[in-house]
């Protein structure tokens, strides 16, 4: 027997994961459009849409986190320190090139 769409339901976790994936994908598309946009008015509109989806993506993420559907691993202090040092070096190099 063939199932129809109405016979298939997503769990709350699956529905939220699907929403999160879609919002992330939309943000990728808006990011690409923003970097390729050739007029100020177009870029302004894309940025407005990007910002709206960024907020929606974060709300969905918070819902998943609060329900225990998304686990965030804290970064080890050593990794944070390494990345901070790496960023600081890059920033200094860029500043030196600008001067």
pLDDT at 89: 81
CA distance 31 to 43: 10
Structure tokens at 65: 């986190």
pLDDT at 35: 93
Using 50 as the pLDDT threshold, list the residues of the chain that sit under it: none
Distances from the Cα of 57 to the Cα of 10, 19, 25, angstroms: 19, 8, 10
CA distance 11 to 17: 10
Q: Count the Cβ atoms, other than its own, within 10 Å of residue 57.
A: 19
pLDDT at 95: 80
């Amino acid at each position: 027997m063939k199932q129809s769409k109405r016979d298939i339901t997503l769990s709350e976790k699956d529905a939220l994961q699907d929403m999160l994936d879609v919002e992330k994908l939309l943000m990728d598309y808006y990011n690409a459009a923003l970097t390729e946009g050739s007029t100020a008015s177009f870029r302004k509109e894309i940025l407005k849409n990007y910002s709206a989806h960024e907020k929606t993506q974060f709300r969905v993420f918070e819902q998943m986190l609060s329900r225990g559907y998304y686990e965030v691993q804290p970064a080890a202090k050593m990794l944070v320190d390494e990345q901070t040092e790496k960023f600081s070096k890059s920033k200094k190099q860029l500043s030196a090139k600008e001067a």
